[in-house]
Structures are given as structure tokens and as C-alpha cells.
Amino acid sequence: MRTTESRVVANGLQHHVISWGPDGAQPAATLLCLHGFLDVGWSFRPMAERLVACGHRVVAFDWRGHGESEWVGPGGYYHFMDYVADLADLVDALVPGPLHLVGHSMGGSAASLYAGAFPERVEKLVLMEGLGPEAPNEPEPAKRTGAWVLAARKARQRQHRVLASLEEALARMRLQTPELDDALGLELAARSTRQVEGGVVWSFDPLHRTRGPYPFHAELFRAHLAAITAPTLCIEGERGYRVPDQEERQAALRDARRIVIPAVGHMMHWLAPGPVAEAIDGFLRR
């Protein structure tokens, strides 16, 4: 197996890209993996290595403002459709041939929007609990706008708190994913932080911690799902994340199948990379 890293400018921002492939002839198709909120592309490594062993080429990247990718400049923000524009440029730059999109969580939402907007470009789609967030009840949108302005202003002036060590970073990651083991946890902590005087700080832009001005619109999202022509595999963790209208969103997909990974939650590619890779490989070969 061969692993390479590169930098690609997409939608005006430099993105960090990781590629895994067989040490020999390159497969015609590419699996492009899209990570979730505050995750990094390197988190797909255990899953990618298993897929490469099955003969696939796998590529992942850090979204804007995550990992080693560039943050937005002064006055910029992380509106969700910006991710779709980033993805369109990354697909053009990284995948000259057949494209299989694999998206986890937020990455699955972006993959769905892209696959609906450019259905002819995606051969197969894998959504790992990537059917979008819960649609909020927004009785006072004007207050949300004001809160966003104030929160973004504060975030631009804020710096991450310094953590004493990678072990402290791992302890914080385990607040959300207690099952994360030491080896992978410390690897992910190292990939998700940067060193500073006195310890490490998270590498993501603090602006991500703010609530955006535009609420999620389930009807708009379902319209994108309905426009997808690629066969779609929906993977869920047995203890994972579900939205109240989960069945309705899945039903909007023209050609979808569903599989549940036993005994894991939302971070299935961390905790069960083998079963997830097996499910994806079987789907792509079908």
C-alpha cells in the first residue's frame, strides 16, 4: 500500500489531501471520503487500509477550517453550501475517472447535496449516518441572526485553550466517544491538534463552534436526495444517530439500501473500520 499527502486549492482555499492506493496498478475508480464535523481526513485511515487491501483507491481530505486545511479569511464563514463548492473543485482535481462518494455525518450531508446537484458525476454513494441533522423548530429567526453575528464576532477574537498533552486531548474526545482506544485515540488527537508553547491546541477554526444564521431545511435537503441517481448505501451504527424523519429521508432516495453495524455508535469508522469497510466493498462490487 502507498500513502501520499498533498495540498490542493479548492474554492480558493488550500485543502490537505491524503491518498491510499495499492502499490502497483491504480484502480479506475476512486472512493472519496468526506469526514464529519470537527473530525479529520486521517480518521479514515483504518477503514481505508482495509479497502485498499480489497483493491480500491481511497482519498480523504480535511474540510475547510479542519485539520491541516486552510481556515477562511477575515470576514469569511463556514456556510454549508461552501462545503459543496469545495467538494466540486476537489472532485475535479482529484478524481479524473469514476467517483464513489463516502460521507460520514456532516460529510454525508455534503455528499448528498453534491450528488443531487451533479448526479451524473457520482457512480455510487455511501452515507454513514449522513442524512442530515434534525430540522430545528425556529420560531424567531431574527433572534438567531443576531445571535450568530455576536457569536461569530466573539469567536474571531478567541483562541483555543491550551491542552497540556495529547492525553488530555484524548480525554476530551472520549467525552463524546468513550470507547475510543488509546492507540487510535492518540493518533487522532495528534492529527487534530497542533503544538504550541505549553502543549497543544485543536486545529479547527473556533468559528465552527458557532451556530450559523441559516437553519437546516429538511424539505430542501429531501429535494436533493430525490435528485440523486446513484445507488446509495446508508450505513448506521446500532447505537448511532437518527433524525425523527429518518425513514422519510431514506425513502426520498431512488435506489437505496440500509445496513446497521452492530454494537457501535455514530463514529463507526473509528470503532468498527473492518465491518464498515466490508459493507462498502460488498456494495461497490454488487
Domain count, the chain: 2
| Per-residue model confidence (pLDDT) at position 139 | 78
Residues 179, 257, single domain; the answer is: no
| Per-residue model confidence (pLDDT) at position 25 | 75
| Per-residue model confidence (pLDDT) at position 173 | 98
Distance CA(230)–CA(51), nearest Å, equals: 20
Residues 196, 94, single domain; the answer is: no
Domain boundary among 164, 196, 215: 215
Domain boundary among 215, 244, 276: 215
| Per-residue model confidence (pLDDT) at position 23 | 87
Is 127 a residue whose pLDDT tops 80?
A: yes
Residues 225, 201, single domain; the answer is: no
Residues 56, 179, single domain; the answer is: no
Domain boundary among 193, 215, 237: 215
Residues 102, 39, single domain; the answer is: yes
User: What's the pLDDT tens digit per position in 67-112?
Assistant: 999 999 999 999 999 999 999 999 999 999 999 999 999 999 999 9
Residues 74, 168, single domain; the answer is: no
139 vs 143, higher pLDDT: 143
| Per-residue model confidence (pLDDT) at position 150 | 97
Question: Look-up: residue for cell 429518518?
Answer: 246
- What percentage of the chain carries pLDDT values higher than 70? 100
| Per-residue model confidence (pLDDT) at position 26 | 82
Q: Which residues are 237's β-sheet partners?
A: 261
| Per-residue model confidence (pLDDT) at position 235 | 98
Contact between 13 and 72 (Cβ < 8 Å):
yes
Residues 107, 236, single domain; the answer is: yes
Residues 19, 125, single domain; the answer is: yes
Is 136 a residue whose pLDDT tops 90?
A: no
Q: Domain range holding 146?
A: 140-215
User: What's the pLDDT tens digit per position in 227-236?
Assistant: 999 999 999 9
Residues 203, 224, single domain; the answer is: no
| Per-residue model confidence (pLDDT) at position 91 | 98
Distance CA(285)–CA(66), nearest Å, equals: 32
Residues 154, 252, single domain; the answer is: no
Which amino acid is it at 278? E
Residues 210, 225, single domain; the answer is: no
Q: Report residue 24's pLDDT band, with 50, 70 and 90 as the boundaries.
A: confident
Find how far residue 32's CA is from the centre of its chain.
Answer: 10
Q: Over range 148-152, report the average pLDDT.
A: 97
Residues 234, 267, single domain; the answer is: yes
Distance CA(127)–CA(257), nearest Å, equals: 10
Q: Over range 273-286, report the average pLDDT.
A: 97
Q: What is the CATH number of the domain that holds 63?
A: 3.40.50.1820
In 3D space, the residue among 51, 104, 101, 49 whose CA is nearest the CA of residue 236 turns out to be 104
Q: Report residue 199's pLDDT band, with 50, 70 and 90 as the boundaries.
A: very high
User: What's the pLDDT tens digit per position in 35-75?
Assistant: 999 999 999 999 999 999 999 999 999 999 999 999 999 99
Q: Over range 163-174, report the average pLDDT.
A: 98
Q: Over range 127-149, report the average pLDDT.
A: 93
| Per-residue model confidence (pLDDT) at position 119 | 98
| Per-residue model confidence (pLDDT) at position 286 | 86
Q: How many CB atoms lie within 10 A of CB 147?
A: 14
